[in-house]
Amino acid sequence: MTGAMVSLLAMGGTIATAPGTVGATPHHQAADLAARLSLSPAPVIRPVDVRTVSSRAVTPRDMWELAQAVQREITGGADGIVITHGTDTMEETAYALSLLLETPVPVVLTGAMRAPHLPGPDGNANLAAAISCALHRPLARYGPVVVFQDEIHTAGLVTKHHSTRPAAFASPSAGPVGSVIEGRVELLLGPPPGKARLTATAPPDKRVEIIQVAAGTDGSLLTALADRVDALVLAAVGAGHLPPPLAEAASELAPTLPLVLASRCADGPILRGTYSGPGSETQLIAAGLRPQHTTLAPLKARLRLIFGLSAGLTADQLFPSPTH
């Protein structure tokens, strides 16, 4: 796109690291990342520094402030947005942006798994691919996307599935929606049905936590957290099941505290009416627990609750009770 302008918003992460005496830490700014690129034709890149941190330090408040920065860049005439971000929580920030933003232009997150001072760094290639995506106007309809290793993933489905490999990201439910080949964007699948964006938004001021369920988990952690949170997500076993002692505690709390039932599995929905008995999905839903949306991961269900409840939306609006 001749004369196009891409805003490059830097949040830190591995792509921005420099070596230290013990290990690498984020150091480089947005202008440094832009200077590494050699693109032809070269778009105008507007560097913007938002944070310079490891993504383990990113909070929902940071995600809100990043969304405001993205909106300012869109209002300021950017043809596309690229966000460099650490990979540890990139999927969470991408989904938060999908809750908070309309995307009239492409919004693309990328980063690196190998620091720039190590052999085979992947940051420049990922950044170049992300810029190609930011300039591909049809991608705006997909909402925020993650671009890594020349694959394009939607915010609602993407997850970091490997802790160290350069090909760290996947979308287990559907795969990538497209790819970048020789700097060209090739879309394979259409945009997600519907929009994740919330009907109201506000800075996050609610606390929501996730309880990871395992064989034999009882209700003690749930009970201990109940008066300290505004809602809880239960990362249940299988298709929405809890050990009976935990199910009993959850059933008692559900009338007074929003409890969302998600799956700890990497893929697949919560069932609605297949099994019965203590801890089954039918018993839990009847008690008032709310099943996740399709294959929404626990991490993303948590963010939907944080930002939705903070904006005054109800748990019923965010996770409607299923009807049969």
Q: Which residues are tagged catalytic?
A: 14
Q: Which pair of tokens denotes residue 28?
A: 């480089």
Under 8 Å between Cβ of 186 and 291: no
On the CB side of 41, how many CA atoms lie within 13 Å of its CA? 9
Angle value at C-alpha 159, between 156 and 163, nearest 5 degrees: 165
Sign of the Cα pseudo-torsion (295, 84, 79, 99, in order): positive
Query: What gap in Å lies between CA 69 and CA 87, rounded to an integer?
Result: 20
Q: Which of 121, 122, 123, 144 is nearest to 133 (CA)?
A: 144
DSSP state of 319: S
State the Cα–Cα distance between residues 60 and 75, nearest whole angstrom: 23
